[in-house]
């Protein structure tokens, strides 16, 4: 095979591969739109998870403070009963 024939073969293979790799421009834009939509959807999911975590932690703090307050109230009530007898 001569160098020219080798180059012709390389050019032909490159042309065919380029044609197979390329996609229509409108489909390319659809892919970009889909990926952008997917990224936004994942961001919303993550924001929802963070909001839920904050709510759970907040209600946990409220529950702990309520339990501590109830414990102090019960202790104080028992103390008053002992003192006033």
CA distance 11 to 19: 12
Encode pLDDT of 12-57 as tens digits: 888 877 777 777 788 889 999 999 999 999 999 999 999 999 999 9
pLDDT at 25: 80
Range(s) of the domain holding residue 7: 3-84
Q: Tally the C-alpha atoms within 13 A of residue 18's C-alpha that lie toward its C-beta.
A: 6
Encode pLDDT of 52-71 as tens digits: 999 999 999 999 999 999 99
Number of domains in the chain: 1
The answer, yes or no, to whether residue 77 has pLDDT greater than 80, is yes
Show the tokens assigned to 28: 């390319």
């Amino acid at each position: 095979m001569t160098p020219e024939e080798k180059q012709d073969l390389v050019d032909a293979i490159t042309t065919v591969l380029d044609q197979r790799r390329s996609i229509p421009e409108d489909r390319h834009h659809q892919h970009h739109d889909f990926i952008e939509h997917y990224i936004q959807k994942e961001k919303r999911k993550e924001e929802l998870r963070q909001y839920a975590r904050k709510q759970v932690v907040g209600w946990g703090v409220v529950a702990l403070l309520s339990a501590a307050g109830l414990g102090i109230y019960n202790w104080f009530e028992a103390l008053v009963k002992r003192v006033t007898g």
